[in-house]
Every structure is written in C-alpha cells, then in structure tokens.
Amino acid sequence: MRILIIEDDRETADYLRKGLAENGHVVDHAPTGPQGLAMALESVYDALIVDRMLPGLDGLSVIQALRKEQLNTPVLILSALGQVNDRVRGLKAGGDDYLVKPFAFSELLARLEALGRRTSPEEKVVTTLRLADLEMNLLARTVTRARHPIELQPREFRLLEYLLRHAGQVVTRTMLLEGVWDYHFDPQTNVIDVHISRLRAKIDKGFDVPLLHTVRGAGYTLREPA
Amino acid sequence: MNLPNLTRTSAFRLTLLYMTLFGASVLVLLGFISWSTIALIERQTDETIEAEIRGLAEQYRERGLFRLVAVIHDRSADHADQSNVYLLTDPTLGPIAGNLTNWPAETDAGGWVHLTLKKREDGKSVAHQIRARTFVLPGGYRLLVGRDTNEKDKFEETIKEAVNWSLALTFGFGLIGGVFISRRMLARVDRVSTTAQGIIAGDLARRIEISGSGDEFDRLAENLNAMLAQIERLMSGMRLATDSIAHDLRGPLTRLKGRIEMALRCPPETGQDREALADVLAQTDAALVVFDTLLKIATAEARTDAEDLETLDLASLAGNAAELYEPVAEEKGVALDVDTEGQARIRGQPQLLAQAIANLLDNAVKHTPAGGRITVTTGNRGNGVALAVADTGPGIPEADRARVLERFVRLEESRSTPGAGLGLSLVAAVAKLHDATVHLDDNNPGLRISVRFPADPRGDGVNGGAPEPDNRLN
C-alpha cells in the first residue's frame, strides 16, 4: 500500500515509516497539517495516518478538508486524546479508525491493512462468506465446513463473520472487541482468547488443516491453507 | 466602608432611583390637590362676587342710588369685613362710595380685574391681592365688587411648604434608608468577598456563612458553597489521581528499570535479550493500563463526559458483558448466570458502564473458586434501576467494604491475584458519574456488589416484557 503519514513527532514518524516499509508498504511523510493536506490532494494514497495535534492545521481539520474535496482515502487517526468523546469527534470529522497513543505497532499495522482492504471494489452486499471449505450463509445464518453443519452461538457467529470479512489479515484483540462487542476498552482478562479457542474447537477440530491461526504478539488470522 | 464605596453600590443607586420616583409622585399628587383646591377657591370667590353684584344691582334697581350708596357704605365700613372691596362711581368715574380710591385702569372682557392693595397691618404695609368685577348699572353708574384672595394665597403658601417638606423628608429618609440598606448589603457581600479571598489564598475548605433567613443572599451563598464543595472534591480527586500516578507508576517503572538493567548485564551471546524485551514490553503495557484507568477515573469523577449521556438498557449491557466473560468463567469451572427482568432504562455513557460491568465480572471470575457461581441481575427497584453482580467467592470482611472502592486498595487476600486495584475505583467513579450508588453486601457466602441508578428521567422508566433473547446465557 502507498501510505502517507501526517505526524509532527519525528521519532514516531520514523518508527512508523521503518515498520511499514519492512512490511512492504511505500511511505511518505508530512510533518505539518498544511503540507500533509497538500500531499494528500496531489498524490494517490491507499491510506492516511493522521495525528490529531499538528502544527499549522490540526489533524481533524485536515481530514475535514480532504472529505470536502471528495477524497475518500481511508484515514487512521492517531492521537494521545483517548477519551470516549475524543474518539467520537475523530470519527465524526471523517476518520475511519481511531488509535490511541501509545499503540503497539502490530495493532496499527493490522488496522491499517483492514482499512486498505475496506476500499476494495469487492465490498458489495454479500450473502455468503467463504474461505477454503468453510462457508457462512449470512441470510440463513448457517455455517458449514466441508459440508458439515457447524452449530454456533449468535456471538460466535458474529466473531466468525468478522474474521471471515477480514480473512487473510491479522485481526487484533481490540479490533475484535470493537467489531464484535462494541467495546472500546480492553478488559484485562484474556476473554477474547477464550472465545477464539471455543470457536477454533468448533471450526478446526477434526479437520486436517486449521484455518484460524494465532499471530504471536498481534492477534489472530483466518487464512487459506498454503 | 467609606462613603464613595457606599454610593457605588447597586442598592444605593436603586434607593436613589426609588427616592426620585417617590419624590416625583409626591410632587404630582400635591400639585394636583393644590391645583384643584385653588380652582375651587377661585370659583367660589368668583361666585360670591357675582352674587353680591347681583344683589347690589337689585338694590339699585328697586330702591335707587341712595339705598345702594348706603349699603356700600355699610359694607365697606371699617368694622365690616375688610376682605371685601367696593367702589361705586358716577359715569365719569368719580368715586361716590366704597373703600377703594381709584377706578382700575383696565378690565378684561368679562369685567374682571386684578388689583393689588397695600394695607397697614400691625404697623407694616402688607400687599393684598384682590380679585374684583366691574359692573355698569343703568344710568351709567359703575360698580366694583372685589374680594381679598389672601386666603387662596395662604393656601398656596401652605401647599408649597408641604411640597418642600415632603421632598426634603423623602430625600432625607431615602438617603438614610439607602445608606442603611447599602451598608447591610455591602456587609454581606463583603463577607462573601472575604471568604473568596481566603479561598484564593489557598484555604479551599472555607465556606460562606449563611444567615439562616433563607433570603436571596442565603440562596446565593448555598449555591456558591455547593460549587465550592464540588471544586474542592474535584481538586482533591485530582490530587489523589496525581499522587496515585506518582505512587503506583513508580512500582512498575522500577521493575521495568530493573529488568532492563539485568538484561544489559547478561552477556549478549546467552540470547536472553529477546525474552527480556518481551517482558519489558508486557510491563510497559501494564503501566500504561494503570495510567489509562487513572485517567478514566479522573475524567468520570470530573464529569466532563456528562453531556454524552444517552438512554440505554442496562440489562442488555449486562447481558453483553456476561456473554463476554462466560467462556472465561466456564474455563475456570464457575457458572455465570444472567437474570434480567425486562429492560432497565437509564441515562448513561455506554462505554464507561460496559467497562464498569466488565470490571465487576472480572473481579468475580478472579475471586470465585471452581464450582462457584456468579449471578448478574438487573431490574427496576422502586423508582430506580439496579445492577448486581454476586459471587460465591471469599467475599470481603464488612470492615473493609468501604475501603475497597478507593484507589489502589488491594486486600491482603488478593495480593496473589494480578491487578492494580483500580477495578472497583473505576466502578465507583462511573457510578458517581451516573448519580448511582455502590453497595457491597454479603452474599452468604461471597460478595454481592450492587449499583443503584436513578431511573431515566426522560424515558418511561419501567418496561416489563421479555428480555431480548440475545441477552440470555444459560
């Protein structure tokens, strides 16, 4: 992906640039609001990472200006302001996701890749989600693997749906908490891990190739067997 | 309290305004009375004069000039009423009878004339105002009848005096009253100012004295005192938060530092540095969680999020949280039951409430041994809504119950379980934000924590009906 980082803190920007480049992304950097806005309007990017507190023009104003120009590039807001209403304000201004500083790089990468995927043209109304021999019917709310029906609780169904919609990507615990439970905080117990292992028992147990994998230090991924 | 200070008070200015208005109304009132009274007196004078002229003209007509002269002589004699003036002249204006010497030079159309006569009274010359009417008798004789208007003048004099006195008294009393009221008000305002200065100087515990009369000053003082209490509460909350941050971040940071130093001392070839780094990262995250939770508690206590409250169903929030924790509980061999009777509507901040419920469940799961049971209940209680999480764990001794809601309090028994001791403090702070109260009771055995919320004032409050199937976990 081609990514523009609008961030005034040199060290954070370098850290992001290095990490993203290592993961195969092309990164540009703008240290001020106006410069970032100009660059975002001039070139085509797959995603923007925007800090909220920027010199010249604050991050939310940059996003608002971009949206006014009908530029729909996905934006990940990066901010030290982490209160509930800060987040609401950020998303209202046109941000697509909101990550509070300090953050884990794996979290940022997972969210950024999820955002980049979101704009892909395949985002249509789908009634069936499929991965290898796993199939989910969204209308009948049924799941089968290799034609064997799998019984899922409503919440397990939503968990699997989220993973299927992000198939091939790393999904972090906080992404699952936000996407499936609408929890914008992190419960301190490993609640998600237990839900995942339950789900894994239902969809992978008894099959030769596992589909649901744990990504150490990051989260989980549902992917096709290699 | 000096005078210039006094005259600048609003009470004084108000008094002055009232005084002016009152003075003006006194003036208008007395003016009207004098005007109408004088008009009445004048009319009476005129009527008397006309009646007399008619009488005299009749005498002349019926009994001739001699009789008229005799009557006039008689009436204007020294012993007669000196307030009457008469003059009878021949057609060439030569005086025939009466107590006036000269015929007036000019009269108006109706024959009325105004004369000034000087009379000697007690050795002094006093000017008398005379209102008179002239009349031409058949035969060309002229008759003048007048009356002294001193009576009216005296009345006018009296009125003027009354006006002057009233105005003087109005202003006098007004001024004294104004000064008195202003002094009283200033004294009370000064007491408020003195208190405020004391608070500015750093004594946050000071409060404005309340006189007990329940007047507007008392109401103001009560409100200001409530405000001061809130500020003091926030300040002490803030101080506690910073103290806690200083105190409890020092622990993890010290451990972090120790771990890094230890890793640095290890020879690089042992390959222990990666393990150390992972450990350091985990400890940093733990410190960040403490920091984040403290911030959340401080924000909830400062009620800066209060405007983001929305109407929500506590039963569904509780069901959601229970569903999240159910697998963890099950893994530990603890049963987790949800018992929600219909909807439980309150005004609240969903994320903070969800976290508070999650914290309660987190604690319950941690402290309940295998084979135990956790029960989450919500329901309408009286005119409010209650949420309770009960477990069959070791419980909390009654003496410690109030203390566990404070920050960083971890009972000796729970030292072995992980946590920063902030879970229940966040619950308490979130409850406070929602005007709810937290109660810790014995669950025989175990602990039962209930949070009692006031009902949503906007909604219809109580909705019976079946719980949403999504919330049922069994």
Once rounded to an integer, what is the mean pLDDT over residues B332-338? Answer: 93
Q: How far is the alpha carbon of B455 from chain A, nearest alpha carbon, in Å?
A: 23
The answer to whether the Cβ–Cβ distance between A185 and B288 falls below 8 Å is no
Q: Considering the domain boundaries, does residue A123 fall inside one?
A: no
Is A103 in CB contact (< 8 Å) with chain B? no
The reply to whether A164 and A112 lie within a common domain is no
SS3 A47: strand
Q: Considering the domain boundaries, does residue A177 fall inside one?
A: yes
Express as a percent the part of chain B with pLDDT over 90.
Answer: 13
Q: Which pLDDT score, from 0 to 100, does residue A212 have?
A: 94
Q: How far is the alpha carbon of B296 from chain A, nearest alpha carbon, in Å?
A: 8
- Domain at A186, CATH number: 1.10.10.10
In terms of DSSP H, where are the helices of chain A? Answer: 10-22, 33-42, 59-68, 84-92, 105-118, 154-165, 173-181, 191-203
Mark residue B64 as left, alpha or beta (left: phi above 0; alpha: psi -120 to 50; beta: remaining).
left
Q: Which pLDDT score, from 0 to 100, does residue A111 have?
A: 93
User: Which chain A residues have a beta carbon less than 8 Å from that of B365?
Assistant: 189
Q: Considering the domain boundaries, does residue A136 fall inside one?
A: yes
Q: Which pLDDT score, from 0 to 100, does residue B473 have?
A: 38
Q: Considering the domain boundaries, does residue A34 fall inside one?
A: yes
The reply to whether A96 and A138 lie within a common domain is no
Last residue of a domain, one of A118, A153, A169: A118
- The answer to whether the CB of B315 falls within 8 A of the CB of B339 is no
DSSP class of residue A78 equals: E
The reply to whether A88 and A160 lie within a common domain is no
- Is B68 exposed, middle or buried (CB count within 10 Å of its CB: 0-12, 13-18, 19+)? buried
Those of residues 125-164 in A touching chain B at CB distance below 8 A are 154-155
SS3 A63: helix
Mark out chain B residues that contact chain A at CB-CB < 8 A: 278, 285, 288-289, 292, 295, 299, 304-305, 308, 320, 323-325, 327-328, 331, 349, 351-352, 354-355, 358, 362, 365-366, 418-419, 470
Q: Residue B40 has which token pair?
A: 């009445």
Does residue B34 or residue A199 have the better pLDDT?
Answer: A199
> What size, in residues, is chain B?
474
Q: Token match 């249509």: residue?
A: A124
Q: Which residue of B has its CA nearest to A154?
A: B470
- Is B161 exposed, middle or buried (CB count within 10 Å of its CB: 0-12, 13-18, 19+)? exposed
Mark residue B435 as left, alpha or beta (left: phi above 0; alpha: psi -120 to 50; beta: remaining).
left
Q: Which pLDDT score, from 0 to 100, does residue B472 have?
A: 36
- The answer to whether the CB of B316 falls within 8 A of the CB of B343 is yes
Q: Is the pLDDT of residue B311 over 70?
A: yes
Q: Which pLDDT score, from 0 to 100, does residue A59 have?
A: 92
Once rounded to an integer, what is the mean pLDDT over residues A57-70? Answer: 92
**Which of B294, B328, B357 would you mutate first to test chain A, the one with the most A CBs within 10 A?**
B328
What range does the domain containing A179 cover?
A: 128-222
Once rounded to an integer, what is the mean pLDDT over residues A92-113? Answer: 90
Q: Residue A91 has which token pair?
A: 């998303």
The answer to whether the Cβ–Cβ distance between B324 and A195 falls below 8 Å is yes
Q: Which pLDDT score, from 0 to 100, does residue B333 have?
A: 93
The reply to whether A132 and A52 lie within a common domain is no
Is A92 in CB contact (< 8 Å) with chain B? no
Q: How many CB pairs under 8 A join A and B?
A: 57
* CA-to-CA separations, B337 to A151, A157, A183, B81, B326, in angstroms, rounded: 22, 21, 21, 118, 9
In terms of DSSP H, where are the helices of A30-119? Answer: 33-42, 59-68, 84-92, 105-118
Digit-coded pLDDT (tens) for B83-100 = 788 888 888 888 888 888
Q: Which of A132-136, B147-151, B357-361 has the lowest mean pLDDT?
A: B147-151
The reply to whether A109 and A134 lie within a common domain is no
The answer to whether the Cβ–Cβ distance between B327 and A195 falls below 8 Å is yes
Number of domains in chain A: 2
B80: Cβ contacts below 8 Å, ≥ 6 apart: B74
Distance CA B281, CA A105 (A): 12
Nearest-CB residue to A194 (from B292, B328, B366): B328
The reply to whether A38 and A106 lie within a common domain is yes
- The answer to whether the CB of A69 falls within 8 A of the CB of A45 is no
Q: Which pLDDT score, from 0 to 100, does residue B2 have?
A: 58
User: Which residues, in sequence order, are bridge partners of residue B124?
Assistant: B121
The answer to whether the Cβ–Cβ distance between A195 and B365 falls below 8 Å is no
> pTM higher than 0.80 for the full model?
no
- Domain at A74, CATH number: 3.40.50.2300
The reply to whether A63 and A171 lie within a common domain is no
The reply to whether A114 and A6 lie within a common domain is yes
Distance CA A21, CA A5 (A): 12
SS3 A140: coil
Q: Which pLDDT score, from 0 to 100, does residue B81 have?
A: 65
Digit-coded pLDDT (tens) for B172-220 = 888 888 888 888 888 888 888 888 888 888 888 888 888 888 888 888 8
Q: Which pLDDT score, from 0 to 100, does residue B356 have?
A: 92
User: Which residues, in sequence order, are bridge partners of residue B462?
Assistant: B344
Write A53-58 long-range contacts (CB < 8 A, 24+). A53/A8, A53/A79, A53/A80, A53/A81, A54/A6, A54/A7, A54/A8, A55/A8, A55/A31, A56/A32, A57/A32, A57/A33, A58/A33
Last residue of a domain, one of A63, A89, A118: A118
Last residue of a domain, one of A74, A90, A118: A118
Distance CA A186, CA B162 (A): 87
- Is A5 exposed, middle or buried (CB count within 10 Å of its CB: 0-12, 13-18, 19+)? buried
Q: Which pLDDT score, from 0 to 100, does residue B3 have?
A: 58
Angle formed at CA B233 by CA B230 and CA B235, multiple of 5 degrees: 110
A122: confidence class by pLDDT, cuts 50, 70, 90: low
Distance CA B71, CA B64 (A): 11
Q: Which pLDDT score, from 0 to 100, does residue B308 have?
A: 72
**Which of A86, A99, A183 would you mutate first to test chain B, the one with the most B CBs within 10 A?**
A183
The reply to whether A76 and A13 lie within a common domain is yes
Q: Is the pLDDT of residue B410 over 70?
A: no
The reply to whether A103 and A135 lie within a common domain is no
Consecutive H or E run containing A4: strand A2-6
The reply to whether A16 and A110 lie within a common domain is yes
The reply to whether A64 and A27 lie within a common domain is yes
B415: confidence class by pLDDT, cuts 50, 70, 90: very low
Q: Is the pLDDT of residue A164 over 90?
A: yes
B469: confidence class by pLDDT, cuts 50, 70, 90: very low
Q: Which pLDDT score, from 0 to 100, does residue A152 have?
A: 93
